[in-house]
Amino acid sequence: MKTKCNYCGRDYATDTHTHVTSSLKSHLRTCKKYPPNLDKAQAILSFKPKDQVVERCMGNTLSSCKMDQNAARNALVCMIIIDEISFKSIESDGFRQLIAVIPPRFTVQSRYTVTRDCYFIYTIEITKISFDSV
């Protein structure tokens, strides 16, 4: 009996009596297309519009971008602070659809994690203010 990897399509033998797929399990540790094994620092290709007006006529340009999870996470926290939006808004379906399109490798944390991040930035800013006033 054969088992197929859902990510790369390779076939692996399965024990017909116990249906154990240990060979597939060990393969997933090294499979290049398995999502947890993807290199998060690798640059990805994306299409960027040349100009909003010219986009319809000229098309898009191909460029590479590198995903920085921490920078994106900090930008999300700053957006919440600056725009004074609720933490729950990052769990809405519309926001999830937006994030799914913009940076493909950015994972949105829960509102509780974002709350902790906002509090962390708040403590940093309070410390800066207290040192500046001294």
Contacts of 55 (CB under 8 A, 6+ apart): 49
Same domain assignment for residues 129 and 72: yes
Q: Look at residues 111, 74, 81, 84 and name the one whose alpha carbon lies nearest to residue 95.
A: 111
Q: Report yes or no: 52 and 25 within 8 Å, Cβ to Cβ.
A: no
Same domain assignment for residues 31 and 88: no
> Higher-confidence residue: 84 or 66?
84
Same domain assignment for residues 120 and 79: yes
> Higher-confidence residue: 104 or 30?
30
Residue 57 placed within a domain: no
One-letter amino acid identity for 108?
A: V
Same domain assignment for residues 26 and 76: no
Residue 115 placed within a domain: yes
pLDDT at 54: 39
* 115 pLDDT above the threshold of 60: yes
* 114 pLDDT above the threshold of 70: yes
Residue 117 placed within a domain: yes
Domain count, the chain: 2
Same domain assignment for residues 18 and 75: no
Beta bridge pairs of residue 62: 47
Percentage of the chain lying above the pLDDT 90 cut: 3
| Mean pLDDT calculated for residue range 88-110 | 76
* 43 pLDDT above the threshold of 50: yes
Determine the structural domain holding residue 18 and report its residue range.
2-37
pLDDT at 67: 66
CA distances to 6, 36, 56, 66 from 30, in Å: 14, 10, 42, 23
